Amino acid sequence: MAIIALLAVTIIPTWKQLAANLVALLIFATFTGVFKEVVKRLWPCASLLAAMLIIHSLFNPANRHYWWVFGLEGTLYALRLALRLLCILIILHYLISTTPPFEFVKLFNKIHPDLGMIVSMFLAIMPALQKQFITTLEIQEVRGLIKTNSLPARLRAYLAVLVPIVIHSINHAYSLAQLLYLRGYSWRHIGLAREPAKRSEKVAIGLSAVYLLANVLVAYRWY
Amino acid sequence: MNKPVKLAIISTGIAINIIGSMVSSTVKLPIFLDSIGTMLAAVLLGPWPGALTGLLGNIIQGVLTDPASIPFGVVNAVIGLVVGYLSLKRGFEDYVTPLLAGLILAILCPVVGTPIAVYLFGGVTGGGVDILYAIFLKKEMGIFTSAFLARIPANLVDKLLSAYMVMLVIRKFPPAMKMKRASV
Amino acid sequence: MKEAGIHVESLSLFYPGNPRPALQGVNLTVYQGEIAFLVGGNLSGKTSLLRCLAGLIPGVLPGKWQGRILVANKSLNAEGNERAPASVILQNSDLYLLPRVYDELALPLVNSGLTSREVEKRIVLLAEELGICHLLNRQMSSLSGGERQKVAFAAAIAVDYPVILCDEPFEQADAEAAEAMLSLLRRKAASGGTVLIATRYFEYARYFADRIILIRDGAVIAQDRSGNAEKIAGMVPECRISRRQRSQATIMTVSGSRELFFEGVTHLFDSGHGIKNVSLEVCKGEVVAIMGPNGSGKTTLLKHTVGLLRPQEGRVWLRETETSRLPVGLLAEKIGMLFQNPDDQIFNERVDREIACSLRARGARWNEALKEAAHWLAKIGQAQIAASHPHSLPYSLRQIVSLVSVLINRPEIIVLDEPFKSLDYRNVEILMSIILELRQEKDNPIILVTHDPTVTLLYANRVAFFDHGEIVLQGVPQDIFFSTQFRNLSLGRHPFIRGLLDSNNH
């Protein structure tokens, strides 16, 4: 359903319509109770959006009409992009904040069981590797190798931490491969049986289809 | 080809990409160095598994934390292909191959990445590169050209450094591990 | 005549790039219903042998073997990619494939072709048998080391194979967990299974084996029924400390000045682990051993010595100085800390550079640092490894390399965080003698965290037992191990302690 919604957003041509979409999406997020979560996740993008507006309004080569130093064409261009980006990000963040990771694993599994295996192994490796990162960082700190006063020193510190971690993790990968072999890994994988679509999923797909349709109609009138 | 080893190294490569940029920010290096895992997987397994590592890495990262990184998976996949192909041809332990890889990628990555960045972000990155971008724009060079040119210097530094890091890591691999590499 | 579960005839194994065989002319037989122990030190070839039996060579790992291997009457193929009909427990139990416990257990069952309903039934049964029902919905990364080992064990035996192979399963398990595991293996054997356990601890074999196989330098040097354990015990000094060596252990009473003092230190993590109000003195001339189960706070305490952690309450004194204000770098100059695994820190491609790094970090010039490194390597009789790649050396030598890179800074106090894990007694002895010899002053104190009571007995003047973040017992090892209080701790059931008590009753 997210894909349908994304498609809808990418075809919208005017910033007015995008703004309307943005408001609609935000209202939708508020009603489903993830408004705060989505806004919190979007916050890091704020500087990027600001940079987009500033750069294009000041420097866009298409600028012909100026209001003081701000070029109208560039501002409009940036506004349209920024709103589109916001919509896309809201949809995706909405998806992420409402879906637990193992649902994504299932999705990858449906595409190809090997992909599912890679993704779940990655999820299993990550915490262990983070622990390894902290261990090595502490050891090298005790050895006095973590210095950040000059660029070469930082590069050395980087190597001192990264090399043991990489060697450890490649070794780890070979052990994992042994384990995979011993567990008889072949093509089958957990949860391969396709579950019938739930009612809530059908409703969701229906809603997003309506959303797409509405946007297509409005866009068509503009053309 | 040994499938368990392949799968395990691809997952590990994805994890190293993330850890690599974590380490880089911990020691306050000004570059990302977030494609080391992709390059390593490409050197160990070859171009296509390398490309898969890059692509999948961005998708997973996108799904878990930052969706805006998903489209740039294509860039990472190109890194995997180039490095994998080069290491098939020349190995990856001399001083020349990483230089080649760095130079090729410094051009190729922006070629692939700029259209995505222009479409999504208007070519803006939200970082220091934007100043350069603004200067090029001011010279009336067009959005795409400016964004493309602005990306080259940063990419050159990042990709060259990453490639040399990978070479160093590969060299520091225990000899026994290199043997395994040869047999995979 | 009983039937053989595992039968090996004139097996030789070569790893690529190494002209020396890892295994050579190995013959052995383990019968159905037996638990056999394969006892050998580091580099003896026991892991290689297990890899061949499991089909990992050539299935996943490179290597060429010749000879004949029968596992549960199935003849293995030196070329093929076929899995042996055996459950295998790998040495590193910190290894898992999937983020969730249930999935980890389900994976081998699904792969063996069961339907999801059968899988569920089997998992519930298995979890009840091993007492891990409460863990099924947890994330693997949130488990403790002991719990994770139980899950790894469960996943390995989830599919019922007639042969079970274990590689060093007692390393991470405390005495209780090891006993639980062994009693389950005993049941499997009783119902016709064949069990082969590789370990470097002879004492375990003495108490739990039906058959003992000794291996060294890739060849089987003895195999016998366990009734004759005493007869062959002397053949593997690297796996066993004899009574005579134990009686030679130094008993010293120390009355030096106080060097390091933990004064009511508390540091609790969100998880509830940590240390609570711990007070401990370390004086000149002392070797203090710190023991206790996983997660009891040993490492937390050690991290306070160099300032990696700071007390939430209480103070740490280095002589007359309170250390909470001193930076890690400065503390680490006075306190040398050796960590568990050398591979967590080695990043140079030459041994001498790796060692010189430590000096360089303290401001020495690179050339002098390299010279000094070579000098220290010569002191321990290892001048020839200076130019080697650290990872081309055996694990035990790598640990020596990281030890030298600690000692070269001439620390006043030496802190050892389980540095002997995965080393056999011969290597422990080499390492300890380097530490004892090369200390800057002969009475520089040593703090030693270890799991192995034998090491404590041999080297420590004093031992402190941790449990749930507190010191529960403290004193001279010789007295402590025979005290009734000690027998109530789970460590009191450790086979070493049993061996100790048995030999004293004779």
The token duo for C60 is 């996943």
* Superfamily covering domain C4-237: P-loop containing nucleotide triphosphate hydrolases (3.40.50.300)
- How many domains does chain A contain in total? 2
The residues, ordered by sequence, that sit 6+ positions from B182 with a Cβ below 8 Å of its Cβ are: C16
Q: What is the CATH number of the domain that holds B169?
A: 1.10.1760.20
Cβ-based contacts of C392 with chain B (< 8 Å): 174-176
Give me the architecture of the C247-505 domain, per CATH: 3-Layer(aba) Sandwich (3.40)
- What's the Rg (C-alpha) of chain B? 17
Q: What is the domain partition of chain C in residue ranges? A: 4-237, 247-505
DSSP state of C3: P
Alpha carbon distance A221, C154 (integer Å): 64
The whole-number pLDDT of residue A132 equals: 92
Give the angle subtended at the CA of C234 by the CAs of C176 and C422, to the nearest 5°.
Answer: 45
Alpha carbon distance C202, C205 (integer Å): 5
- Asked whether A71 and A60 are in contact (CB, 8 A), the reply is yes
- Residue B157 reports pLDDT greater than 70: yes
Q: Check whether residue A29 and residue A79 sit in a common domain.
A: yes
Q: Which chain C residue is nearest to residue B183, measuring alpha carbons?
A: C62
Alpha helices in C209-314 (DSSP H): 229-233, 243-247, 298-306
The whole-number pLDDT of residue B115 equals: 83
Q: Check whether residue A92 and residue A110 sit in a common domain.
A: no
Burial of A55 from C-beta contacts in 10 A (0-12 / 13-18 / 19+): buried
Q: Check whether residue A217 and residue A139 sit in a common domain.
A: no
**Confidence class for position C62, pLDDT limits 50, 70, 90:** confident
Q: What mean pLDDT is predicted for residues B120-139?
A: 71
Cβ-based contacts of B6 with chain C (< 8 Å): none
- Is residue B124 classed as helix, strand or coil in its secondary structure? coil
- Residue C34 reports pLDDT greater than 80: yes
Question: No. of H helices and E strands in chain C?
Answer: 19, 20
Q: Check whether residue A15 and residue A79 sit in a common domain.
A: yes
What is the predicted ipTM? 0.88
Parent domain of A154: 104-182
- How many domains does chain B contain in total? 1
Size of interface A-B (CB pairs under 8 A): 166
Q: Which chain C residue is nearest to residue B1, measuring alpha carbons?
A: C60
**Confidence class for position B16, pLDDT limits 50, 70, 90:** very high
Taking the CA of residue C48 and the nearest CA in chain B, the distance in Å comes to: 14
- Residue B184 reports pLDDT greater than 70: no
Q: Check whether residue A213 and residue A153 sit in a common domain.
A: no
**Confidence class for position C463, pLDDT limits 50, 70, 90:** very high
**Confidence class for position A23, pLDDT limits 50, 70, 90:** confident
- Is residue C117 classed as helix, strand or coil in its secondary structure? helix
Mean pLDDT of chain A: 75
- Asked whether A219 and C145 are in contact (CB, 8 A), the reply is no
Parent domain of B126: 3-183
The whole-number pLDDT of residue A188 equals: 47
CA end-to-end span of chain A: 26
Say how far residue C302 (Cα) sits from the centre of its chain.
Answer: 19
Q: Check whether residue A93 and residue A6 sit in a common domain.
A: yes
What are the residues facing C198 on neighbouring strands?
Answer: C38, C167
The whole-number pLDDT of residue A92 equals: 73
- Is residue C138 classed as helix, strand or coil in its secondary structure? coil
- Residue A16 reports pLDDT greater than 60: yes
pLDDT in tens, C277-294: 999 999 888 899 999 887
Say how far residue A36 (Cα) sits from the centre of its chain.
Answer: 17
Cβ-based contacts of B5 with chain C (< 8 Å): 60
- Residue C505 reports pLDDT greater than 70: no
**Confidence class for position A186, pLDDT limits 50, 70, 90:** low
Q: What is the dihedral of CA C291, C296, C299, C302, to 10 degrees?
A: -70
CB contacts under 8 A, B 3-62 vs A, are 3-5, 7-12, 14-16, 18-20, 22-24, 26-29, 33, 36, 40, 44, 56, 60, 62
Q: In this structure, is residue A43 part of a structural domain?
A: yes
Ranges of beta strands (E only) in C334-404 are 335-338
pLDDT in tens, B66-122: 777 788 889 999 999 999 999 888 888 888 888 888 889 888 888 888 888 777 777
Question: What is the phi/psi pair of residue A174, to 5°?
Answer: -65, -35
Q: In this structure, is residue A188 part of a structural domain?
A: no
Interface probe with A: pick from C47, C48, C53, C60, most Cβ of A within 10 Å: C60
CB contacts under 8 A, A 2-41 vs B, are none
Say how far residue C51 (Cα) sits from the centre of its chain.
Answer: 19
In angstroms, what CA-CA distances link C189 with A124, C102, C192? 33, 26, 5
Which of B4, B172, B182 shows the shortest C-beta gap to C60? B4
Q: Is B3 on the interface with C (CB under 8 A)?
A: no
Q: Which of A114-118, C93-97, C219-223, C501-505 has the lowest mean pLDDT?
A: C501-505
Q: Which of A46-50, B14-18, B107-111, C5-9 has the lowest mean pLDDT?
A: A46-50
Cβ-based contacts of A61 with chain B (< 8 Å): 137, 140-143
pLDDT in tens, B27-76: 888 777 888 999 999 998 989 999 999 999 998 888 777 777 788 889 99
DSSP state of C383: G
The whole-number pLDDT of residue C276 equals: 92
Alpha helices in A143-198 (DSSP H): 151-182
Q: Check whether residue A6 and residue A93 sit in a common domain.
A: yes
- Residue B183 reports pLDDT greater than 60: no
For residues C436 and A42, the model is more confident at C436
User: Whose CA is closest to C174, among C333, C293, C350, C25?
Assistant: C293
Q: Is C92 on the interface with A (CB under 8 A)?
A: yes
**Confidence class for position A221, pLDDT limits 50, 70, 90:** low
In angstroms, what CA-CA distances link A82 with B46, B118, C205, C366? 39, 12, 70, 53
In angstroms, what CA-CA distances link C501 with C49, C227, C504? 34, 19, 5
For residues C218 and A35, the model is more confident at C218
Q: Is B179 on the interface with C (CB under 8 A)?
A: yes
Alpha helices in C112-259 (DSSP H): 116-130, 145-157, 175-190, 202-208, 229-233, 243-247
Q: In this structure, is residue A190 part of a structural domain?
A: no
- Residue C42 reports pLDDT greater than 70: yes
Q: What mean pLDDT is predicted for residues A120-139?
A: 91
pLDDT in tens, C307-359: 899 999 999 999 888 888 888 888 888 899 999 889 888 988 889 999 999 88
Q: What mean pLDDT is predicted for residues B153-169?
A: 84
Q: Is C112 on the interface with B (CB under 8 A)?
A: no
Q: Check whether residue A25 and residue A83 sit in a common domain.
A: yes
3 state SS for A62-76: CCCCEECCEEHHHHH
Q: Is C17 on the interface with B (CB under 8 A)?
A: yes
